[in-house]
Amino acid sequence: MSCNYADGLSAYDNKGILGAPESFDSDEIVAEKCQELVDLIKKSGHVVLHTGAGISTSAGIPDFRGPKGVWTLEEKGEKPDFNVSFDEARPTKTHMAIIALIESGYVQYVISQNIDGLHLKSGLDRKYLSELHGNIYIEQCKKCRRQFVSPSAVETVGQKSLQRACKSSMNSKGRSCRSGILYDNVLDWEHDLPENDLEMGLMHSTIADLNIALGTTLQIVPSGDLPLKNLKRGGKFVICNLQPTKHDKKANLIVSSYVDVVLSKVCKLLGVEIPEYSEASDPTKHSKPLEWTIPTSNVNTFHREYRKYVKDSKIESIAKKTKYK
């Protein structure tokens, strides 16, 4: 499928601020801010990344609201240039840096608005990822709600029928689903966000010591508001984006540079080696269908941790108020 999947979505007028000018920090300022970001990461016990279309542009996939973004050009009656198809696109330096940061324990979770499947292709484990707007490589059964990885980008978007039977009978995990039909799981404008992905994203964002937005103007809600969820409890918020965002005034740090550059510098300062993309770690290259469903048990387990965190935070807050009376 062409990277211009947006042609398959319903018409929608309110696409936010389009084509805002990009700004670039000097090399010296970027180096200083990357060091500041590294210091914040080292001080944090729970770091969550919020990824948008800007982390995939170096893979040849256009963003939406940039100077040459899909929606920006659409408003002018123009079409963007597509250098690759979804199937040809490979994970960027940023996608692979995220793998390294998770494996080294510096990042605990990723919340993505992207449907391009590059987090999946990079080898990022599902337990570390919420996909709020779907994934062009995922087929979801309408009946049993289980998700499966497709070897190629699906033919439709907007949660339409793929006219294929559920793959649960081909997968050794769990019970077989009878008469279930697979649909794409890419959201259209008015669709509800996937419940488990949203709940995990909300909980992780709330307990995060540090939320980092990468390559997004944070205009789409609720995903664009999630990085703010930790601020009431003293958490930090960092933005790495070339355009101004909806929440610049609330950020503790803004780095105006390419995300690939920033994460490369951050990994180097942390002593973390960024791996190369490998087809061996790419689920779309496996011969057997792999399941991509977030297990409900994972959600329930983390929900207990989340409730404990919220309870402990309230107790700490009351203790501080009592102390200073």
- The two tokens of residue 13 are 């007028």
Query: Which pTM does this prediction carry?
Result: 0.92
Strands of the sheet containing 236-240, edge to edge, are 129-131, 109-112, 47-51, 210-214, 236-240, 253-255
Residues with a known catalytic role: 133
Annotated binding site for Zn(2+): 141, 144, 166, 177
Query: How would you write the pLDDT of the chain (325 residues) with one tens digit per residue?
Result: 445 566 667 776 677 787 788 999 999 999 999 999 999 999 999 999 999 999 999 999 988 888 888 878 777 888 877 778 999 999 999 999 999 999 999 999 999 999 999 999 999 999 999 999 999 999 999 999 999 999 999 999 999 999 999 988 665 555 678 789 999 999 998 899 999 999 999 999 999 999 999 999 999 999 999 999 999 999 999 999 999 999 999 999 999 999 999 999 999 999 999 999 999 999 999 988 899 999 888 899 999 989 988 887 765 553 344 343 4
Q: Where are the domains of the chain?
A: 52-294
Cα separation, 254 vs 249, whole angstroms = 10
CATH superfamily of 52-294: TPP-binding domain (3.40.50.1220)
pLDDT value at residue 7: 66
DSSP sequence for 251-298: -SEEE-S-HHHHHHHHHHHHT-PPPPP-GGG-GGG-SS--B-PPPHHH
Annotated binding site: 141, 144, 166, 177
Unique residue bearing structure tokens 């404008």: 189
- Are the C-beta atoms of 132 and 198 separated by less than 8 Å? yes
pLDDT value at residue 322: 36
- Nearest CA to 132 out of 201, 63, 183, 54 is that of 201
